[in-house]
């Protein structure tokens, strides 16, 4: 699977391109707190490419700095993962290792994932940067094929161009990409891709998605428990709880 559709969708100016290979040694030194993590990096990563550095000087968007975080540039990386890799952990480790806010595209077999994570100053260690929640979305094979785009994912890719992102500063721009990830995730529930109209709407959308995902996990657990329950009274109680969760999920879907 090629990274080209995702990178092309970003519309990165030529002056922002870096296109350099990143040695795994960098991750081993800065993003691997345990021996198991080191093995994951060594065994699970095939290649890391630093695609671009989005800076005020090459995209015309001001840097951002306050007491919580400093965004002087946004790095764009692609990473090819081997089939033995555990992608969720490796994605987190890569975000930890790179000091800049990161737009990370990873591929494993036919699966392509786009992930972002806001970063802030560490409260316990001066000068150190830590990640907040890693947000990621999987792109289907159809979305990355020019012959068979899906409606929602095609709209998502069309919205990613740097020139179309909010440009107040680099934090706002990065937040704009995160809002697009949330909109794509919501579109897989609602059937329609719609960008949040404001930062507040984007936060509410992400909260709704998080709540929806939690309720879905709870629902699956209850269904499994109900299927194994032999006492009739307990099965009735579980089914009532299942119906309640289904109602909550339906209400959230209406709000997304």
pLDDT (0 to 100) of residue 34: 86
pLDDT (0 to 100) of residue 226: 81
pLDDT (0 to 100) of residue 107: 92
Cα 220 to Cα 249: distance, rounded to the nearest angstrom: 12
pLDDT (0 to 100) of residue 134: 93
Structure tokens belonging to residue 153: 């994912």
pLDDT (0 to 100) of residue 1: 53
The pTM for the full model equals 0.86
Cα 230 to Cα 245: distance, rounded to the nearest angstrom: 21
What's phi and psi for 51, nearest 5 deg? -80, -45
For residue 82, the 8-state DSSP code is P
Q: Show Cβ contacts of residue 136 under 8 Å, excluding neighbours closer than 6 positions.
A: 91, 113, 114, 115, 116, 181
**Tens of pLDDT along the chain (256 residues)?**
578 889 999 999 999 999 999 998 888 887 777 888 889 999 999 999 999 999 999 999 999 999 999 999 999 999 999 999 999 999 999 999 998 999 999 999 888 999 999 999 988 777 788 898 899 998 865 455 544 557 888 899 999 999 999 999 999 999 999 999 999 999 988 888 989 888 788 888 888 888 988 988 888 888 888 888 788 888 888 888 888 888 888 888 888 7
Cα 167 to Cα 157: distance, rounded to the nearest angstrom: 18
Cα 33 to Cα 54: distance, rounded to the nearest angstrom: 28
Domain map (residue ranges) of the chain: 4-194, 211-255
Burial zone of 99 (CB within 10 Å; 0-12 exposed, 13-18 middle, 19+ buried): middle
pLDDT (0 to 100) of residue 240: 85
Find the helix or strand (DSSP H, E) in which 18 lies.
Answer: strand 17-21
Residue with tokens 């929806």: 212
pLDDT (0 to 100) of residue 148: 52
The two beta strands, 102-108 and 74-81, are parallel
pLDDT (0 to 100) of residue 46: 95
């Amino acid at each position: 699977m090629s990274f080209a559709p995702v990178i092309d969708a970003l519309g990165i100016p030529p002056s922002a391109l870096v296109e350099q290979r990143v040695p795994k040694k960098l991750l081993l030194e800065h993003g691997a707190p345990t021996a198991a993590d080191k093995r994951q990096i060594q065994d699970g990563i095939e290649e890391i490419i630093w695609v671009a550095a989005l800076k005020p000087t090459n995209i015309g968007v001001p840097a951002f700095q306050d007491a919580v975080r400093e965004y002087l540039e946004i790095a764009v990386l692609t990473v090819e993962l081997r089939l033995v890799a555990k992608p969720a952990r490796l994605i987190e480790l890569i975000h930890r290792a790179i000091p800049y806010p990161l737009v990370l595209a990873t591929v494993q077999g036919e699966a392509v994932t786009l992930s972002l994570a806001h970063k802030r100053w560490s409260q316990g260690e001066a000068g150190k940067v830590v990640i907040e929640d890693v947000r990621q979305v999987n792109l289907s094979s159809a979305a990355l094929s020019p012959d068979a785009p899906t409606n929602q994912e095609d709209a998502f890719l069309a919205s990613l161009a740097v020139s179309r992102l909010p440009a107040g500063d680099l934090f706002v721009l990065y937040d704009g990409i995160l809002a697009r990830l949330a909109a794509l995730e919501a579109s897989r529930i609602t059937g329609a891709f719609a960008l949040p109209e404001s930062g507040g709407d984007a936060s509410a959308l992400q909260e709704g998605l998080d709540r929806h995902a939690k309720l879905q996990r709870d629902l699956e657990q209850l269904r499994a428990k109900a299927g194994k329950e032999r006492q009739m009274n307990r099965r009735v109680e579980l089914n009532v709880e299942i119906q309640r969760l289904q109602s909550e999920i339906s209400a959230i879907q209406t709000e997304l």
